[in-house]
Chain A
Amino acid sequence: AQSVTQPDIHITVSEGASLELRCNYSYGATPYLFWYVQSPGQGLQLLLKYFSGDTLVQGIKGFEAEFKRSQSSFNLRKPSVHWSDAAEYFCAVGAGSGYALNFGKGTSLLVTP
């Protein structure tokens, strides 16, 4: 079955610094990959998704992610982090039909002044 690993439980970055959150997936075929963000007390908001095509995907709030099949990775990046980006970030993989997603455990992002 498809699965997702987010190796970093917590990450702390300074405001204005660049950010990269790691995500590795396990799936035989080309997966559907997603990044979601969850602010405290809120539901999950979709940042971006990859189905096929261009391996560099642009999302909302200045985020991007790159699909690397050779590394089974789909890392999330942002060039300059803002304090409002502090939240929990989830990588997810789906197998298509039915669209039931398997989520990683999440990475908690802390942004320091």
Chain B
Amino acid sequence: DSGVTQTPKHLITATGQRVTLRCSPRSGDLSVYWYQQSLDQGLQFLIHYYNGEERAKGNILERFSAQQFPDLHSELNLSSLELGDSALYFCASSVDDLSPLHFGNGTRLTVT
């Protein structure tokens, strides 16, 4: 158990809808990262937050947004969903910029 909690584990929704994925980092970890894992693209970095502030953006679509709250949990919002957004979305956390990432078990999103 990595200590990173992601909810829900599975999500099935229709095209055009909006969903919110939630991540609770390990106790004491200030950094939260979001990754998308799909068969064709592999693991893609989406966005990084540190202590509530956005630190870096990767291949994140404009339809996607994220935030980290004062209690350090994070949410990834996906809107106007398309079939191609179906993927595993992972959250990872670390204590600081020099510490390894600890991954949650992911949220599997299926867009129908």
Residues of A within 8 A of B (CB): 34, 36, 41-46, 49, 90, 96-106
For residue B98, which residues in chain A have a CB less than 8 angstroms away from its CB?
Answer: 96, 99
For residue A42, which residues in chain B have a CB less than 8 angstroms away from its CB?
Answer: 105
Is B33's CB under 8 angstroms from A49's CB? no
A100 to chain B, nearest CB (A): 5
B6 to chain A, nearest CB (A): 8
For residue B104, which residues in chain A have a CB less than 8 angstroms away from its CB?
Answer: 43
Chain B interface size range: 20 to 34
Query: Once bound together, how far apart are the Cα atoms of A45 and B1, in whole Å?
Result: 9
Is B42's CB under 8 angstroms from A106's CB? yes
Known: A43-B2, A43-B4, A45-B2. Contact between A99 and B103, CB under 8 A?
A: no
Known: A97-B97, A103-B42. Contact between A43 and B56, CB under 8 A?
A: no
Main secondary structure, interface of B, reads strand
Is A100's CB under 8 angstroms from B45's CB? yes
Residues of B within 8 A of A (CB): 2, 4, 31, 33, 35, 42-43, 45, 48, 50, 55-56, 58, 90, 92, 94, 97-106
For residue A99, which residues in chain B have a CB less than 8 angstroms away from its CB?
Answer: 31, 33, 48, 94, 97-99, 101
Question: Top 9 closest A-B pairs, CB basis?
Answer: A43-B103, A103-B43, A44-B103, A98-B56, A43-B105, A105-B42, A100-B45, A46-B100, A98-B55
B2 to chain A, nearest CB (A): 6
13 contacts between A and B (CB under 8 A): A43-B90, A43-B104, A43-B105, A43-B106, A44-B101, A96-B97, A96-B98, A98-B48, A98-B55, A99-B33, A100-B48, A101-B45, A105-B42
B43 to chain A, nearest CB (A): 4
Minimal Cβ-Cβ distance residue in A for B108: A41
B24 to chain A, nearest CB (A): 13
